Amino acid sequence: MANALDYRTLEAAATWYVQLNAAQPSDAQLQAWQDWLGKSQAHAQAWARVEKLQRQFGSLPADVALPTLAGVRARRRAVLKTLAMLLAVGATGWAVRESTPAQALMAELRTGKGQRRQVRLSDGSQLELNSDSAVDVRYDGQLRALRLYRGEIMVQTASDPDARPFEVHTAEGRVRALGTRFSVRSDEGSSQVSVLQHAVEIRPVDSPLLMLRLDAGQSVTFNPRQIGTAHSVAPGTGAWTQGMLTVIEWRLADFITELRRYRPGVLRCADGIADLRLSGAFRIDDTDTILENLSASLPVKVRYLTRYWVSIEPA
C-alpha cells in the first residue's frame, strides 16, 4: 500500500523531484532516475505519489518550479517541502498546497486545472471562471460582491433594482463595476483588470484614497499599494471564455507559462529556446495537441518524462 511507504523512500522521491525540476536534467541524470525507479516496487509507488500530486495540484511547492535553486540549503528546503506534502497524502489521497488559502479550498465556486465554469448569479449577472479559480459570492441589502481568491473571472453585470454596487475583491484591492463587462485575474501579489465594456473603478487595499477609472479597451495591473499604468487591452483578452488562447508574437517561455494554467503537472521550457516567438490561436481544452504542434512550427522537441512531466527543448 502507498501509505506503508517508509520515510526514506519518500525522501528519495522528493529528492529526485527537486533534482529533475531545478535544472534541465542531463541524459545521465534521467538514466539514474530511471534506474532508481526500477529498483523496487516501493520506489515506483513513491513516484506514483509524486505524480498524483502533480495531477491534482498542477505542481508541488512553488519554489521547486524555479529554473534553478541556488545552493545546497535551498535545494534541501525544497526537498523537505516536497517530502512534507508526500507524507500528507494519506488514505484520502489529497493534500493542501502551502500557497492556497483555506478560503479558496472552501470557496462557493471553484474550478480545477483545465476546467471552466459559467454561473448565472441571483441578480442576473453572468460570471465565468477560468481554469484553477476560486470565488465566493456575497450579496446583501447594500452590496453585490465577489471575492476572487485565485485564478481569473469574466463578469457581465446586470442592472439592479435596488441600485446596489457590484464589486470584485481580491487580496490586492477592490474593483467596482460601472455597468460593464470586465475580467479580473489574481496572481501572486498582483491583480490584473481588463475592461471590455463601459468602465470600472479600482482601489488598492492599502491605498484606499488612490483610485483609477479604467475605461473600455483598457487594462491595468495593481498591487495592494499602487496601480500601474493603464494600457490597451491585449489582443485575445477574454478568448479563454471561448476555450481559446490567442497570442501574437509571444516569447515561447511566456506561452509555456500561460499554458501551465490549463495543464496539470510540470511543464518546462529550456532557457535556450525561451526567446523564440509564437503566434496563433490554440484550444486550451486540448493541451496535448498544442504541445504536439509546437515542433511543427518551431525548432523544438517535446520530451515526456511522464504524462504529467513535460519538457520543451531545442530540436
DSSP-assigned states of every residue in 256-281: HHHHGGGS-SEEEE-GGGTT-EEEEE
Q: What are phi and psi of 152, to 5 degrees?
A: -145, 140
Supply 255's cell numbers: 506561452
Average pLDDT over residues 114-135: 96
Q: Do residues 158 and 273 both lie within one domain?
A: no
Q: Are residues 199 and 112 in the same domain?
A: yes
Q: How far apart are CA 218 and CA 203, in angstroms?
A: 16
Which residues have a Cβ under 8 Å from the Cβ of 63 and sit 6 or more positions away? 69, 74, 77, 78, 81
Count structural domains, the chain.
3
Domain-located, residue 69: yes
Decide which of 189, 208, 232 is a domain's last residue: 232
Tell me: do 212 and 122 sit in the same domain: yes
What one-character DSSP code corresponds to residue 61? -
Closest CA to 261 of 188, 181, 173: 188
Helix or strand holding residue 57 (H, E): helix 41-57
pLDDT greater at residue 298 or residue 81 = 298
Q: Write out the three cell numbers for 64.
A: 521547486
Expressed as residue numbers, the domain containing 307 is 243-314
Mean pLDDT of 302-314: 89
CB 200 within 8 A of CB 190: no
CATH of the domain at 282: 3.55.50.30
Residue at which a domain ends, from 213, 232, 251 = 232
Q: What is the CATH number of the domain that holds 139?
A: 2.60.120.1440
Whether residue 97 lies inside any domain: the answer is: no
| Residue 221: inside a domain | yes
Q: How far is CA 274 from CA 7, 70, 199, 235, 246, in A?
A: 37, 20, 36, 21, 18
Note whether 115 and 206 are same-domain residues.
Answer: yes
Beta strands 218-222; 212-215: pairing state: unpaired
What pLDDT digit, counting tens, does each position of 198-234 carry? 999 999 999 988 999 999 999 999 999 999 999 999 9
Q: Is residue 96 part of a domain?
A: no
pLDDT at 56 (0 to 100): 54
Considering the domain architecture, whether residues 226 and 258 belong to the same structural domain is answered as no
Domain check: are 119 and 216 in the same one?
A: yes
Residue 94 lies in a domain: no
Q: Which amino acid is at 63?
A: D
**Chain centroid offset of residue 267 CA:** 12
Q: In which element (H, E) is residue 53 found?
A: helix 41-57
Q: Is residue 69 within 8 Å of residue 22, measured between CB atoms?
A: yes
pLDDT tens digits, one per residue of 249-303: 999 999 999 999 999 888 999 999 999 999 999 999 999 999 999 988 899 999 9
> Has this prediction a pTM greater than 0.75?
no
Each residue's pLDDT tens digit, 174-196: 999 998 999 999 988 899 999 99
237 is a domain residue: no
Element (H, E) at 10: helix 7-22
Is 28 a member of any domain? yes
pLDDT value at 169 more than 90: yes
Are both 108 and 173 inside the same structural domain? Answer: yes
219 and 249: one domain?
no
Q: Is residue 93 part of a domain?
A: no
- DSSP at 227: B
